[in-house]
Amino acid sequence: MVVPPLSIAADFNSDVYDCLIWVGADYKQSSNDAVISALSPVLAVDQGAQSAGCVVPVSLPCKRLVYSPTGPLDRDYDDHRRFAEAAANGIKKALAAGSKHPLLAVQGNLPNKSAEDAQLSALLGALAAVYVPLEMREAVKERAVKVSGLGWAGAKKVMEEAHAIEAGRVVARDIGGSDPERMAAPKVEVYVQEAFKGTNVKVEVMKGQEFFEKEYPCLAAVNRCAEQVPRHDGRLIWLTYEGEGTAKKTVYVVGKGITYDTGGADIKAGGVMAGMSRDKCGAAATAGLMKTIAELQPKGIKVVAALCMVRNSVGANAYVSDEIFTSRAGVRIRIGNTDAEGRMAMVDVLCRAKEMALSDTNPHLLTMATLTGHACLAMGPYSIIMDNGPARAEQTAQKVQKAGDDVGDMFEISTVRREDWEFNKDKSGEFVAILQANSAPSTRTPRGHQVPGAFLQQVSGLDKHQLNSAKPLKYSHLDIAGSAGDLPHPTTGAPVAALTKWILSE
């Protein structure tokens, strides 16, 4: 859980740093004459550097200047990722030039947006660029760090918030990006216990197939094959944070943590299994969010997270299509596709969260998962949020989207509609109420990412807590399949930053 040491620099005149990274739309906006003097002759003869940036000598103690331009900031489609990407590119140039302790300076802002939001987005981009994957840190010690520290020529408040968010994103990347053996469920348990040691987050671990079959039968179905291999046996990990003072809001987050998805009996054939170690990124981001909350210690809020860590293995004891299960909420379902295991892993845990939420102050339930390939087709590299009626009445999706926009951690809004509810209903009703999935991949199913959002409500019992009920419960489903990050690159840690901003803004 390593975040580089961050230090505040009042100006550019310290000899602690070996490189200045200047991020902005126009270097002439710099308040430092040395920066302008160093860049003017180079950019006069190299127009390409205006967009690609450059590394030049500078008459400052650091001796090295990296110019990393954002490009235009005033078009309708420009967003805070301009700052994050420019900062990340600047870090990479600095590292290639030999820097070990750079200083980051950010100039400018988007129209009608604050300079602090631009600075936070940039610093988060820089921190992402110096992340080293867990397995590299453990196995190749000489490559365990990229920098000895990072200087910050900006507001202290921004630096502290960025540090807390990055601490969470490191946890998210470590769990989500590590291979299926390094982050098999029992090892996730060990990692999480260590990550939250000494914090005010309580960790509770539940395990055992017999226990799962009694309390979380849908999760137990997925775990049935893997539990025969002790190093793959599932874990349900609860994390609870209760801030100082009376809670004015309670947030429950249930994260999908499929440590490896073979597809189960409906096996992922044809070379599409590679990369399925990333199917735990929902739970990884959930743990990351809790780490950031533990760092920031907000008052007057309670956050409860559940990491549903199971492996969708294939073998003689795997669950198969046509099997019938009864969920924790008492809903009978027939399996239509064992590769739709994510909703199975989460739905009974969501039901338990619902049961607890009914006695909490101002509760809001979330599920977060790399759930469908359809999400990637429909929305590309963005997180998706879908509200139920009570959440929609409070414009939760719009608030989360704005929080993401402010920090460059983007969301698209989708809607669960009546067709999605109908799709899941068993067409005869003779045996079961709900068909868990059709036999086609989500990428070949119309409304393939919205349908699971309906399933999670129908099978958890949340359909009894709609806007017109005696006890409405706000619920939002997040599909982060597009934003979590694909091999061979590290995972992104999305949407830890956006959810942090949303929780704090509330």
Residue 268 designated active-site? yes
Which residue in 343, 354, 474, 501 is the catalytic one?
343
Which residue in 93, 224, 268, 280 is the catalytic one?
268
Q: How far is CA 387 from the centre of its chain?
A: 18
* Residue owning tokens 């690609």: 52
Of 286, 280, 253, give the one whose Cα is nearest residue 495: 286
Of 4, 294, 291, give the one whose Cα is nearest residue 168: 291
Q: Measured between alpha carbons, how far is 138 from 63 in angstroms, rounded to an integer?
A: 33
Q: Measured between alpha carbons, how far is 404 from 416 in angstroms, rounded to an integer?
A: 21
Q: Measured between alpha carbons, how far is 171 from 286 in angstroms, rounded to an integer?
A: 9
If you write DSSP's letter for every residue of 301-350 in order, what string do you get?
Answer: EEEEEEEEEEEE--STT---TT-EEE-TTS-EEE-S-TT-HHHHHHHHHH
**Cis peptide before 217, with omega less than 30 degrees from 0?**
no
Q: Measured between alpha carbons, how far is 90 from 35 in angstroms, rounded to an integer?
A: 15
Residue 208 three-state SS: coil
- List C-alpha distances in Å: 318 to 222, 241, 373: 7, 35, 23
The CB-side HSE value for 435 (13 A sphere, CA atoms) comes to 19
Q: Measured between alpha carbons, how far is 404 from 80 in angstroms, rounded to an integer?
A: 9
Q: Are 341 and 384 in contact (CB under 8 A)?
A: no
Residue 343 designated active-site? yes
Structure-block tokens of residue 264: 């189960």
Active site residues: 268, 343
